[in-house]
Structure 1
Protein backbone atom coordinates (compact mmCIF):
# COMPACT_ATOMS: atom_id res chain seq x y z
CA UNK A 1 0.00 0.00 0.00
CA UNK A 2 1.30 3.45 -0.84
CA UNK A 3 2.09 6.03 1.81
CA UNK A 4 -0.44 8.43 0.28
CA UNK A 5 -3.21 5.86 0.73
CA UNK A 6 -2.28 5.45 4.40
CA UNK A 7 -2.27 9.21 4.89
CA UNK A 8 -5.71 9.46 3.26
CA UNK A 9 -6.92 6.83 5.68
CA UNK A 10 -5.41 8.76 8.61
CA UNK A 11 -7.18 11.94 7.50
CA UNK A 12 -10.45 10.05 7.11
CA UNK A 13 -10.27 8.68 10.66
CA UNK A 14 -9.16 11.99 12.17
CA UNK A 15 -11.84 13.91 10.32
CA UNK A 16 -14.54 11.50 11.46
CA UNK A 17 -13.42 11.89 15.09
CA UNK A 18 -13.14 15.68 14.99
CA UNK A 19 -16.52 16.17 13.29
CA UNK A 20 -18.35 13.60 15.42
CA UNK A 21 -20.97 14.66 17.96
CA UNK A 22 -19.36 12.11 20.31
CA UNK A 23 -15.62 12.13 19.62
CA UNK A 24 -14.91 9.67 22.42
CA UNK A 25 -17.32 7.08 21.05
CA UNK A 26 -15.83 7.51 17.57
CA UNK A 27 -12.31 7.03 18.95
CA UNK A 28 -13.50 3.87 20.68
CA UNK A 29 -15.11 2.61 17.47
CA UNK A 30 -11.88 2.95 15.49
CA UNK A 31 -9.76 1.47 18.29
CA UNK A 32 -11.97 -1.60 18.53
CA UNK A 33 -12.21 -1.88 14.73
CA UNK A 34 -8.41 -2.08 14.66
CA UNK A 35 -8.47 -4.70 17.46
CA UNK A 36 -6.28 -2.53 19.71
CA UNK A 37 -6.72 -2.58 23.48
CA UNK A 38 -6.84 0.61 25.54
CA UNK A 39 -3.64 -0.47 27.25
CA UNK A 40 -1.73 -1.02 24.02
CA UNK A 41 -2.95 2.26 22.53
CA UNK A 42 -1.99 4.10 25.71
CA UNK A 43 1.52 2.61 25.58
CA UNK A 44 1.95 3.69 21.96
CA UNK A 45 0.72 7.23 22.70
CA UNK A 46 2.75 7.30 25.95
CA UNK A 47 -0.14 8.06 28.28
CA UNK A 48 -1.88 6.05 30.97
CA UNK A 49 -4.70 3.72 29.96
CA UNK A 50 -7.03 5.79 32.16
CA UNK A 51 -6.47 8.76 29.81
CA UNK A 52 -7.65 6.70 26.85
CA UNK A 53 -10.62 5.47 28.87
CA UNK A 54 -11.52 9.01 29.97
CA UNK A 55 -11.53 10.32 26.39
CA UNK A 56 -13.61 7.41 25.12
CA UNK A 57 -16.16 7.68 27.93
CA UNK A 58 -16.46 11.47 27.72
CA UNK A 59 -15.08 12.06 31.20
CA UNK A 60 -12.47 14.29 29.55
CA UNK A 61 -13.44 17.10 27.21
CA UNK A 62 -13.36 16.38 23.51
CA UNK A 63 -9.76 15.77 22.40
CA UNK A 64 -8.08 18.49 20.39
CA UNK A 65 -6.63 18.00 16.94
CA UNK A 66 -3.14 17.28 18.32
CA UNK A 67 -4.48 14.52 20.59
CA UNK A 68 -6.57 13.00 17.79
CA UNK A 69 -3.53 12.98 15.51
CA UNK A 70 -1.46 11.12 18.11
CA UNK A 71 -4.19 8.55 18.63
CA UNK A 72 -4.69 7.98 14.90
CA UNK A 73 -0.96 7.68 14.19
CA UNK A 74 -0.66 5.25 17.10
CA UNK A 75 -3.46 3.03 15.73
CA UNK A 76 -1.83 2.94 12.31
CA UNK A 77 1.62 2.28 13.78
CA UNK A 78 0.32 -0.64 15.85
CA UNK A 79 -1.46 -2.16 12.88
CA UNK A 80 1.56 -1.64 10.61
CA UNK A 81 3.66 -3.47 13.18
CA UNK A 82 1.23 -6.40 12.97
CA UNK A 83 1.46 -6.55 9.18
CA UNK A 84 -0.99 -3.81 8.22
CA UNK A 85 -4.08 -5.95 7.62
CA UNK A 86 -6.57 -3.38 8.90
CA UNK A 87 -4.77 -0.53 7.13
CA UNK A 88 -5.06 -2.36 3.81
CA UNK A 89 -8.68 -3.21 4.46
CA UNK A 90 -9.79 0.34 5.24
CA UNK A 91 -7.54 1.86 2.58
CA UNK A 92 -9.45 -0.14 -0.04
CA UNK A 93 -12.68 1.42 1.14
CA UNK A 94 -11.14 4.91 1.17
CA UNK A 95 -9.54 4.41 -2.25
CA UNK A 96 -12.87 3.30 -3.66
CA UNK A 97 -14.32 6.61 -2.53
CA UNK A 98 -16.83 5.33 0.04
CA UNK A 99 -17.70 6.59 3.50
CA UNK A 100 -17.15 4.08 6.31
CA UNK A 101 -20.86 4.15 7.22
CA UNK A 102 -21.75 2.88 3.74
CA UNK A 103 -19.08 0.23 3.14
CA UNK A 104 -18.24 -1.62 6.35
CA UNK A 105 -15.64 -3.90 4.75
CA UNK A 106 -14.13 -4.49 1.32
CA UNK A 107 -11.59 -7.25 0.75
CA UNK A 108 -9.92 -9.11 -2.05
CA UNK A 109 -8.80 -12.69 -1.32
CA UNK A 110 -5.39 -14.11 -2.10
CA UNK A 111 -7.13 -17.11 -3.72
CA UNK A 112 -10.65 -18.19 -4.62
CA UNK A 113 -12.80 -19.25 -1.66
CA UNK A 114 -15.47 -21.93 -2.16
CA UNK A 115 -18.92 -20.45 -1.72
CA UNK A 116 -19.77 -23.07 0.88
CA UNK A 117 -16.83 -21.94 3.00
CA UNK A 118 -17.80 -18.29 2.61
CA UNK A 119 -21.36 -19.02 3.72
CA UNK A 120 -20.04 -20.94 6.71
CA UNK A 121 -17.98 -17.91 7.79
CA UNK A 122 -20.96 -15.62 7.23
CA UNK A 123 -23.37 -17.93 9.05
CA UNK A 124 -25.53 -17.82 5.93
CA UNK A 125 -28.21 -20.15 4.59
CA UNK A 126 -28.49 -20.37 0.80
CA UNK A 127 -31.93 -19.61 -0.61
CA UNK A 128 -31.16 -19.85 -4.32
CA UNK A 129 -28.19 -21.40 -6.13
CA UNK A 130 -26.17 -19.35 -8.60
CA UNK A 131 -23.90 -20.05 -11.54
CA UNK A 132 -20.59 -19.81 -9.61
CA UNK A 133 -19.25 -21.94 -6.78
CA UNK A 134 -16.62 -19.51 -5.40
CA UNK A 135 -15.92 -15.89 -4.51
CA UNK A 136 -12.69 -13.88 -4.83
CA UNK A 137 -13.61 -11.22 -2.29
CA UNK A 138 -16.45 -9.57 -0.42
CA UNK A 139 -18.02 -6.19 0.24
CA UNK A 140 -20.17 -5.59 3.33
CA UNK A 141 -22.63 -2.77 2.74
CA UNK A 142 -25.16 -0.87 4.83
CA UNK A 143 -28.06 -1.39 2.44
CA UNK A 144 -30.10 1.63 3.51
CA UNK A 145 -27.17 4.05 3.25
CA UNK A 146 -25.97 2.57 -0.05
CA UNK A 147 -29.32 2.58 -1.77
CA UNK A 148 -30.27 6.08 -0.62
CA UNK A 149 -26.89 7.75 -1.17
CA UNK A 150 -25.04 5.98 -4.01
CA UNK A 151 -25.46 6.62 -7.72
CA UNK A 152 -25.57 3.67 -10.13
CA UNK A 153 -21.91 4.32 -11.03
CA UNK A 154 -20.90 4.39 -7.36
CA UNK A 155 -22.95 1.26 -6.73
CA UNK A 156 -20.89 -0.55 -9.35
CA UNK A 157 -17.68 0.37 -7.49
CA UNK A 158 -18.84 -1.83 -4.62
CA UNK A 159 -17.30 -4.66 -6.64
CA UNK A 160 -13.77 -3.48 -5.80
CA UNK A 161 -11.22 -5.25 -7.98
CA UNK A 162 -13.36 -8.26 -8.94
CA UNK A 163 -17.01 -8.91 -9.76
CA UNK A 164 -16.50 -12.54 -8.67
CA UNK A 165 -17.34 -11.62 -5.11
CA UNK A 166 -20.05 -11.67 -2.47
CA UNK A 167 -22.04 -8.57 -1.60
CA UNK A 168 -23.35 -8.62 1.97
CA UNK A 169 -26.21 -6.19 2.59
CA UNK A 170 -26.87 -5.28 6.23
CA UNK A 171 -29.93 -3.55 7.73
CA UNK A 172 -32.23 -5.63 5.53
CA UNK A 173 -35.93 -5.92 6.37
CA UNK A 174 -37.22 -8.00 3.42
CA UNK A 175 -34.66 -7.65 0.66
CA UNK A 176 -36.65 -5.90 -2.06
CA UNK A 177 -34.36 -2.87 -2.40
CA UNK A 178 -31.01 -4.72 -2.73
CA UNK A 179 -32.47 -7.20 -5.23
CA UNK A 180 -34.04 -4.47 -7.35
CA UNK A 181 -30.85 -2.37 -7.20
CA UNK A 182 -28.78 -5.34 -8.37
CA UNK A 183 -30.88 -5.58 -11.53
CA UNK A 184 -29.08 -2.51 -12.90
CA UNK A 185 -25.62 -4.06 -12.42
CA UNK A 186 -23.95 -5.96 -15.25
CA UNK A 187 -22.33 -8.34 -14.56
CA UNK A 188 -23.87 -9.44 -11.28
CA UNK A 189 -21.88 -10.67 -8.25
CA UNK A 190 -21.36 -14.36 -7.60
CA UNK A 191 -23.29 -14.21 -4.35
CA UNK A 192 -25.52 -11.92 -2.30
CA UNK A 193 -26.12 -12.24 1.43
CA UNK A 194 -29.07 -10.46 3.04
CA UNK A 195 -27.97 -9.87 6.64
CA UNK A 196 -30.20 -9.47 9.67
CA UNK A 197 -33.15 -11.43 8.34
CA UNK A 198 -34.39 -15.01 8.64
CA UNK A 199 -34.81 -16.94 5.36
CA UNK A 200 -38.56 -17.23 5.91
CA UNK A 201 -38.88 -13.42 6.09
CA UNK A 202 -37.17 -12.68 2.77
CA UNK A 203 -39.21 -11.05 0.00
CA UNK A 204 -40.94 -13.90 -1.81
CA UNK A 205 -39.68 -12.80 -5.23
CA UNK A 206 -36.02 -12.50 -4.15
CA UNK A 207 -34.97 -16.12 -4.92
CA UNK A 208 -36.62 -15.94 -8.35
CA UNK A 209 -34.77 -12.73 -9.24
CA UNK A 210 -31.48 -14.20 -8.00
CA UNK A 211 -31.89 -17.31 -10.16
CA UNK A 212 -32.84 -15.18 -13.16
CA UNK A 213 -29.69 -13.08 -12.78
CA UNK A 214 -27.47 -16.08 -12.01
CA UNK A 215 -26.19 -15.29 -8.51
CA UNK A 216 -26.48 -17.26 -5.31
CA UNK A 217 -28.74 -15.73 -2.65
CA UNK A 218 -28.40 -16.37 1.08
CA UNK A 219 -29.62 -14.98 4.39
CA UNK A 220 -27.76 -14.56 7.68
CA UNK A 221 -28.65 -13.44 11.21
CA UNK A 222 -25.12 -13.80 12.56
CA UNK A 223 -23.96 -11.01 14.86
CA UNK A 224 -22.51 -8.36 12.54
CA UNK A 225 -19.30 -7.86 14.52
CA UNK A 226 -18.67 -11.61 14.54
CA UNK A 227 -19.48 -11.85 10.84
CA UNK A 228 -16.92 -9.16 10.00
CA UNK A 229 -14.26 -10.85 12.13
CA UNK A 230 -14.83 -14.26 10.55
CA UNK A 231 -14.92 -12.93 6.98
CA UNK A 232 -11.62 -11.15 7.54
CA UNK A 233 -10.07 -14.52 8.38
CA UNK A 234 -10.67 -15.77 4.84
CA UNK A 235 -7.48 -15.90 2.71
Structure 2
Protein backbone atom coordinates (compact mmCIF):
# COMPACT_ATOMS: atom_id res chain seq x y z
CA UNK A 1 0.00 0.00 0.00
CA UNK A 2 2.94 2.33 0.58
CA UNK A 3 3.66 2.75 -3.10
CA UNK A 4 -0.01 3.37 -3.86
CA UNK A 5 -0.10 6.07 -1.19
CA UNK A 6 2.99 7.63 -2.76
CA UNK A 7 1.23 7.49 -6.11
CA UNK A 8 -1.81 9.29 -4.71
CA UNK A 9 0.43 12.03 -3.28
CA UNK A 10 2.33 12.34 -6.56
CA UNK A 11 -0.82 12.76 -8.65
CA UNK A 12 -2.47 15.14 -6.18
CA UNK A 13 0.70 17.23 -5.97
CA UNK A 14 0.94 17.49 -9.74
CA UNK A 15 -2.69 18.63 -9.98
CA UNK A 16 -2.34 21.20 -7.19
CA UNK A 17 0.85 22.69 -8.64
CA UNK A 18 -0.41 22.64 -12.21
CA UNK A 19 -1.22 25.88 -13.97
CA UNK A 20 -4.44 24.23 -15.14
CA UNK A 21 -5.70 21.76 -12.49
CA UNK A 22 -8.80 20.83 -14.48
CA UNK A 23 -6.76 19.85 -17.53
CA UNK A 24 -4.38 17.84 -15.34
CA UNK A 25 -7.31 16.01 -13.74
CA UNK A 26 -8.50 15.17 -17.24
CA UNK A 27 -5.06 13.89 -18.20
CA UNK A 28 -4.88 11.53 -15.22
CA UNK A 29 -8.48 10.39 -15.70
CA UNK A 30 -7.63 9.46 -19.29
CA UNK A 31 -4.38 7.77 -18.24
CA UNK A 32 -6.41 5.63 -15.84
CA UNK A 33 -8.86 5.00 -18.72
CA UNK A 34 -11.85 6.11 -16.64
CA UNK A 35 -14.91 7.84 -18.10
CA UNK A 36 -16.33 11.00 -16.58
CA UNK A 37 -19.58 9.24 -15.70
CA UNK A 38 -17.74 6.52 -13.74
CA UNK A 39 -15.68 9.10 -11.86
CA UNK A 40 -18.75 11.17 -11.02
CA UNK A 41 -20.58 8.08 -9.71
CA UNK A 42 -17.65 7.22 -7.46
CA UNK A 43 -17.61 10.79 -6.14
CA UNK A 44 -21.39 11.00 -5.82
CA UNK A 45 -21.63 14.14 -7.94
CA UNK A 46 -23.12 15.10 -11.30
CA UNK A 47 -21.08 14.33 -14.41
CA UNK A 48 -21.35 17.98 -15.43
CA UNK A 49 -19.25 18.95 -12.40
CA UNK A 50 -16.33 16.84 -13.66
CA UNK A 51 -16.81 18.21 -17.17
CA UNK A 52 -16.86 21.80 -15.90
CA UNK A 53 -13.66 21.29 -13.87
CA UNK A 54 -11.83 19.73 -16.80
CA UNK A 55 -12.94 22.36 -19.30
CA UNK A 56 -12.23 25.29 -16.99
CA UNK A 57 -15.87 26.40 -16.84
CA UNK A 58 -15.86 25.84 -13.08
CA UNK A 59 -13.40 27.37 -10.63
CA UNK A 60 -10.39 25.16 -9.97
CA UNK A 61 -11.12 22.53 -7.30
CA UNK A 62 -9.64 22.93 -3.84
CA UNK A 63 -7.16 20.53 -2.30
CA UNK A 64 -9.87 18.47 -0.59
CA UNK A 65 -11.72 17.95 -3.86
CA UNK A 66 -8.49 17.08 -5.65
CA UNK A 67 -7.73 14.49 -2.97
CA UNK A 68 -11.20 12.98 -3.44
CA UNK A 69 -10.76 12.85 -7.22
CA UNK A 70 -7.37 11.14 -6.95
CA UNK A 71 -8.66 8.61 -4.43
CA UNK A 72 -11.64 7.91 -6.68
CA UNK A 73 -9.42 7.30 -9.71
CA UNK A 74 -7.29 4.84 -7.77
CA UNK A 75 -10.26 3.08 -6.16
CA UNK A 76 -12.06 2.66 -9.50
CA UNK A 77 -8.93 1.20 -11.04
CA UNK A 78 -8.38 -1.14 -8.08
CA UNK A 79 -11.97 -2.36 -8.41
CA UNK A 80 -11.15 -3.26 -12.02
CA UNK A 81 -8.05 -5.21 -11.08
CA UNK A 82 -5.64 -2.34 -10.45
CA UNK A 83 -3.63 -2.65 -13.67
CA UNK A 84 -2.93 1.07 -14.10
CA UNK A 85 -2.37 1.64 -10.38
CA UNK A 86 0.22 -1.14 -10.27
CA UNK A 87 1.99 0.20 -13.35
CA UNK A 88 2.16 3.75 -12.03
CA UNK A 89 3.07 2.67 -8.50
CA UNK A 90 5.80 0.38 -9.85
CA UNK A 91 7.78 3.47 -10.80
CA UNK A 92 8.63 3.87 -7.13
CA UNK A 93 10.23 0.41 -7.07
CA UNK A 94 12.81 1.12 -9.76
CA UNK A 95 16.16 1.54 -8.01
CA UNK A 96 17.55 5.02 -8.47
CA UNK A 97 15.79 5.57 -11.80
CA UNK A 98 16.37 9.29 -11.42
CA UNK A 99 20.08 8.60 -11.89
CA UNK A 100 19.47 8.29 -15.62
CA UNK A 101 16.29 10.35 -16.04
CA UNK A 102 17.83 13.80 -16.10
CA UNK A 103 14.62 15.74 -16.61
CA UNK A 104 10.95 14.86 -16.86
CA UNK A 105 8.01 17.04 -17.84
CA UNK A 106 4.29 16.33 -18.15
CA UNK A 107 2.38 18.63 -20.49
CA UNK A 108 -0.85 20.17 -19.25
CA UNK A 109 -2.29 19.43 -22.69
CA UNK A 110 -1.06 16.86 -25.23
CA UNK A 111 1.15 18.32 -27.96
CA UNK A 112 1.46 17.34 -31.62
CA UNK A 113 4.80 15.77 -32.50
CA UNK A 114 5.54 18.31 -35.23
CA UNK A 115 4.84 21.16 -32.81
CA UNK A 116 7.21 19.68 -30.23
CA UNK A 117 9.95 19.15 -32.83
CA UNK A 118 9.71 22.81 -33.84
CA UNK A 119 10.00 23.89 -30.20
CA UNK A 120 13.22 21.92 -29.69
CA UNK A 121 14.56 22.64 -33.18
CA UNK A 122 14.47 18.93 -33.93
CA UNK A 123 14.71 17.26 -37.31
CA UNK A 124 12.76 14.17 -38.35
CA UNK A 125 14.67 11.36 -40.07
CA UNK A 126 11.66 9.95 -41.92
CA UNK A 127 7.95 10.57 -42.39
CA UNK A 128 5.74 9.58 -39.48
CA UNK A 129 2.21 9.99 -38.18
CA UNK A 130 1.83 13.36 -36.46
CA UNK A 131 0.39 11.96 -33.23
CA UNK A 132 0.12 13.41 -29.74
CA UNK A 133 2.66 13.22 -26.92
CA UNK A 134 1.88 13.90 -23.27
CA UNK A 135 5.29 14.92 -21.97
CA UNK A 136 8.98 14.14 -22.29
CA UNK A 137 11.89 12.59 -20.41
CA UNK A 138 15.57 13.34 -20.96
CA UNK A 139 17.50 10.09 -20.48
CA UNK A 140 21.23 9.47 -20.12
CA UNK A 141 21.34 6.51 -22.49
CA UNK A 142 24.70 5.16 -21.33
CA UNK A 143 23.68 5.02 -17.65
CA UNK A 144 20.27 3.56 -18.46
CA UNK A 145 21.62 0.79 -20.69
CA UNK A 146 24.68 -0.13 -18.62
CA UNK A 147 23.02 -0.15 -15.19
CA UNK A 148 19.48 -1.39 -15.78
CA UNK A 149 18.03 -4.50 -17.39
CA UNK A 150 15.31 -4.41 -20.08
CA UNK A 151 12.87 -5.73 -17.44
CA UNK A 152 13.62 -2.83 -15.10
CA UNK A 153 13.34 -0.34 -17.95
CA UNK A 154 10.03 -1.93 -18.96
CA UNK A 155 8.59 -0.83 -15.65
CA UNK A 156 8.90 2.75 -16.87
CA UNK A 157 6.19 2.13 -19.46
CA UNK A 158 3.55 4.18 -17.64
CA UNK A 159 5.95 7.11 -17.47
CA UNK A 160 7.19 7.00 -21.05
CA UNK A 161 4.47 5.51 -23.23
CA UNK A 162 3.00 8.18 -25.52
CA UNK A 163 5.76 10.51 -24.33
CA UNK A 164 8.93 11.72 -25.99
CA UNK A 165 12.17 10.12 -24.85
CA UNK A 166 15.18 12.35 -25.48
CA UNK A 167 18.33 10.22 -25.34
CA UNK A 168 21.61 11.97 -24.53
CA UNK A 169 25.20 10.80 -24.09
CA UNK A 170 25.15 8.96 -27.42
CA UNK A 171 27.67 7.72 -29.94
CA UNK A 172 25.70 6.33 -32.88
CA UNK A 173 22.18 6.02 -31.51
CA UNK A 174 21.84 2.27 -31.94
CA UNK A 175 21.93 1.16 -28.30
CA UNK A 176 18.94 3.13 -26.96
CA UNK A 177 16.80 2.11 -29.92
CA UNK A 178 17.69 -1.54 -29.38
CA UNK A 179 16.89 -1.14 -25.68
CA UNK A 180 13.46 0.28 -26.50
CA UNK A 181 12.80 -2.62 -28.86
CA UNK A 182 13.64 -5.10 -26.08
CA UNK A 183 11.18 -3.53 -23.65
CA UNK A 184 7.45 -2.88 -23.75
CA UNK A 185 8.04 0.87 -24.03
CA UNK A 186 5.90 2.58 -26.65
CA UNK A 187 7.13 6.18 -26.76
CA UNK A 188 5.30 8.60 -29.00
CA UNK A 189 8.61 10.04 -30.16
CA UNK A 190 12.32 9.30 -29.75
CA UNK A 191 14.87 12.10 -30.03
CA UNK A 192 18.59 11.36 -30.36
CA UNK A 193 20.28 14.43 -28.94
CA UNK A 194 23.68 15.56 -30.15
CA UNK A 195 23.90 13.35 -33.25
CA UNK A 196 24.16 15.21 -36.54
CA UNK A 197 23.95 12.14 -38.77
CA UNK A 198 21.91 9.20 -37.56
CA UNK A 199 23.53 5.79 -38.02
CA UNK A 200 21.89 3.78 -40.84
CA UNK A 201 21.28 0.77 -38.60
CA UNK A 202 19.76 3.01 -35.91
CA UNK A 203 17.46 4.48 -38.54
CA UNK A 204 16.36 1.03 -39.71
CA UNK A 205 15.63 0.02 -36.11
CA UNK A 206 13.57 3.19 -35.63
CA UNK A 207 11.49 2.46 -38.73
CA UNK A 208 10.65 -1.00 -37.39
CA UNK A 209 8.60 0.68 -34.66
- State the TM-score, normalized to the length of structure 2: 0.60
Alpha-carbon distance, 1:91 to partner? 1.2
Report the Cα offset of residue 178 of structure 1: 7.9
Measure, in 1, the Cα distance between the counterparts of 2:57 and 2:134. 33
Q: Is the 8 A contact 1:194 1:220 kept in 2?
A: no
- Equivalent residue in structure 1 for 2:83, among 85, 105, 114: 85
Residues 171-221 of structure 1: CA distance to partner in whole angstroms, max 9, x if unpaired? 48xx98585486788xx7272788558xxxx9754234x59xxxx823378
Unpaired runs of at least 5, structure 2 = 107-132
Q: Please give the alpha-carbon distance, in whole angstroms, between the structure 2 residues aligned to 1:50 and 1:168.
A: 30
1:59, CA displacement in angstroms? 1.4
- 2:133 pairs with 1:145: no
- Please report how far the alpha carbon of residue 58 of structure 1 lies from its aligned counterpart in structure 2 after TM superposition: 1.1
Q: Matched residue of 2:57: which SS?
A: coil
Cα distance, 1:60 vs. partner? Answer: 1.4
Which residue of structure 2 aligns with residue 52 of structure 1? 50
| 1:95 alignment partner in structure 2 | 93
CA distance in 2, matches of 1:23, 1:66: 13
What is the correspondence of 1:19-168 to structure 2 with a 5 Å cutoff? 19-96=17-94, 97=97, 102=104, 145-147=137-139, 153=143, 156=147, 159-161=150-152
Distance 1:207 1:91, change over 3 A: farther
Gap change, CA 1:179 and 1:162, over 3 Å in 2? same
SS at match of 1:146: strand
3-state DSSP of counterpart to 2:152? coil
- Partner Cα separation in structure 2 for residue 189 and residue 82 of structure 1: 31
Deviations 1:123-177 (A, max 9, x none): xxxxxxxxxxxxxxxxx996x6314xx59646755845268x99979548xx985
Q: Distance in 2 between matches of 1:178 and 1:169?
A: 22
3-state SS, counterpart of residue 217 of structure 1 = helix
Whole-angstrom CA distance in 2 between matches of 1:83 and 1:206: 43
Q: Distance in 2 between matches of 1:26 and 1:79?
A: 18
Show CA shifts across 1:97-120 (max 9, x none): 568x8499xxxxxxxxxxxxxxxx
**Number of equivalences:** 167
Q: Distance in 2 between matches of 1:37 and 1:141?
A: 19
Contact 1:176 1:203 (8 Å CA) reproduced = no
Distance 1:176 1:159, change over 3 A: closer
- Helix, strand or coil at the partner of 1:219: helix
Query: 2:200 matched to 1:207?
Result: yes
Deviation at 1:90, TM superposition (A): 0.9
Q: Is the 8 A contact 1:195 1:219 kept in 2?
A: no
Alignment partner, residue 218 of structure 1: 206
Question: Which residue of structure 1 aligns with residue 181 of structure 2?
Answer: 191
